[in-house]
Amino acid sequence: MSIKCTLCTLFAIGFVSCYAQEVTPTFSFNNGIYYSYEQFISNQPAIKWKNLETSLITNPRTWITQVEYIQDKKTKEPINIDALWGFTIDGIPYIRIPTDSIDKLLPAFAGLRITGSVCYFQYETTEARTLEMAAYNPLTGRPFRKGRVERNVVRVKEWLMRFSDGTIGPFTKAQMIEWTPRDRMIQLALRRLQDDSDNLEDQLYNLLLSYNKRHPAFINK
């Protein structure tokens, strides 16, 4: 590498370090509420928590926060929760889950478990499924009656969010291939994954972490 190229590289690194911070998995975002994705990506909450009063419940196991109300501390004016894109609590961003996607009585927000160029979040939902059940003869061990019954089944929905524009897509091999075109190594590893592998999700998770490390996202200081 020439001296000129080296100086240009050092200048670029210095410029980024002065005006931006890398969004690592442990990056702490400014606490407060966001009305838009633009406020989130610029790390500038519309209103900070210190100026608000709220009643909310956070489940540390599911990373889901339900909100009863948010209001201005001085005027007691209520905040329209439906107008929120999300908020940050203790440095962790939470984004709004569509009401028809989760069976919660209160407005629900999912925490970003991975932050970086491609973020990750999940939430549980209950779905009604029709299952075939059979009654067995205890003497012969053979079924003598069959029928279909409806049962509620808990399903975990996993999602990715592209940090550059806030686009959300499913946590799948196909989606990761689409969103990681500039990394040949990650692309090759993804295409080699077997769709019927028992630990497919774990492998996708690890490749996501690797991609974010190799292609960091930055946010203004």
> What pLDDT is recorded for position 15?
40
Please report, in tens digits, the pLDDT of each residue of the chain (221 residues total).
Answer: 445 444 443 334 444 445 689 999 899 999 999 999 999 999 999 999 999 999 999 999 999 999 999 999 999 999 999 999 999 999 999 999 998 888 788 999 999 999 999 999 999 988 766 667 676 767 676 776 776 767 777 889 999 999 999 999 999 999 999 999 999 999 999 999 998 888 999 999 999 999 999 999 999 77
Residue 184 confidence (pLDDT): 95
pTM given for the model: 0.82
- Which residue, 164, 160, 161, is CA-closest to 216? 164
User: What's the confidence (pLDDT) of residue 11?
Assistant: 39
Residue boundaries of the structural domains of the chain: 20-121+157-170, 172-212
Strands (E), 35-164: 52-59, 64-72, 86-89, 92-96, 108-111, 118-136, 143-162
C-alpha span between 93 and 30 (Å, rounded):
9
Note the pLDDT of residue 24.
92
